[in-house]
Amino acid sequence: MLARWHHPTLGDVSPSVFVALAEGLGLIGVLSEQLTRKACLVAMTWPGDIFVTVNVSPLQLRDRALPVLIRSILADTGLSPLRFEIELTESALITDFKLAHEILLDLKSTGIRLTLDDFGTGYSSLRHLQSLPLDKIKIDTAFVSTMTTDSASRKIVAGVIGLGHSLGLPIIAEGIEDAEAAASLQVLGCDLGQGWLYGGAVTADAAAAMLRFPTDGEAAVKSPKLWQAPESIREI
């Protein structure tokens, strides 16, 4: 799930602006709750094998009430925890790793999935990866977008893929914009890919239409080995 704000006079406001504003005003919890609840209700209209992913703010990983809130939303909307995934960034672990770890363990006990987003740009250590109850790791766009022209980026991507697999975690590469990058990632053994090569973000209604009536223009699944979901994540 991606949040977007189209202001009647300002036009499209970047999430980096309004999310930071919500955090500064102490409104990020309310905003996240409303968006998560809406996302779960929409996901209930999708086929049962499709799950929804939401991001949590670093501030929310300091709130012990977060697991209670997520359980309440899932119960109210009827969405199975097996169809719900939370993405967290490395920066969310910096302030109080012990507290974040406890909250993540509590969340994981509900049956949901946890993904570490933007890996490689923060301050995660091997200790974090080993001790956190993660299900997937996402490689940051900054490395993926330059891996075909910069040998250092390619080595970092290869290293993250190898590290993730050694821990039994599948790897998602973000920011795939061309077939060359997708092919390179496939050679390196990356499991999933996400980016403009497969399609951009769409509205909830458009996502539902794609799931019901896929077309080539909507980056439809063309092979049993390719998997398409809202936000354009694919097996590569």
What pLDDT digit, counting tens, does each position of 155-192 carry? Answer: 999 999 999 999 999 999 999 999 999 999 999 999 99
- Residue 147 and residue 153 in contact, taking contact as beta carbons nearer than 8 Å: yes
Residue type for position 225: K
Alpha-carbon 20 to chain mean position:
18
Residue 215 pLDDT > 60: no
Residue 163 burial (CB count, 10 A) = 15
1, 12, 26, 47, 166 from 19: Cα distances, Å? 14, 13, 10, 30, 35
Cβ-contact 129, 163 below 8 angstroms:
yes
pLDDT category, 231, cuts 50, 70, 90?
very low
Residue 36: pLDDT over 50: yes
Superfamily of domain 137-236: EAL domain (3.20.20.450)
With vertex at residue 30, the alpha carbon angle to CA 56 and CA 82, rounded to the nearest 5 degrees, is 45
* Residues of each domain in the chain carrying CATH 3.20.20.450: 1-134, 137-236
pLDDT over 90 at 83, yes or no: yes
Q: Which amino acid is at 80?
A: S
pLDDT tens for residues 101-152?
999 999 999 999 999 988 876 665 677 778 889 999 999 899 999 999 999 9
Residue 54 predicted with pLDDT over 50: yes
Phi-psi label, residue 11: left if phi above 0, alpha if psi -120 to 50, beta otherwise: left
Helix, strand or coil, per DSSP, at residue 3: coil
Segment holding 9, helix H or strand E: none
d(CA 105, CA 114): 10
> In what helix (H) or strand (E) does residue 75 lie, and over which residues does it extend?
helix 66-77
CATH topology (fold) of 1-134: TIM Barrel (3.20.20)
In sequence order, what E strands does the chain have?
5-7, 11-13, 52-55, 84-89, 113-119, 136-139, 171-173, 192-194, 233-235
Q: Are strands 5-7 and 11-13 parallel, antiparallel or unpaired?
A: antiparallel
**Tokens (6 digits) for 188:** 């390196």
Count other Cβ atoms within 10 Å, centred on residue 18: 16
Highest mean pLDDT among 48-52, 124-128, 203-207, 212-216: 48-52
**What is the mean pLDDT of the segment spanning 50-67?**
91
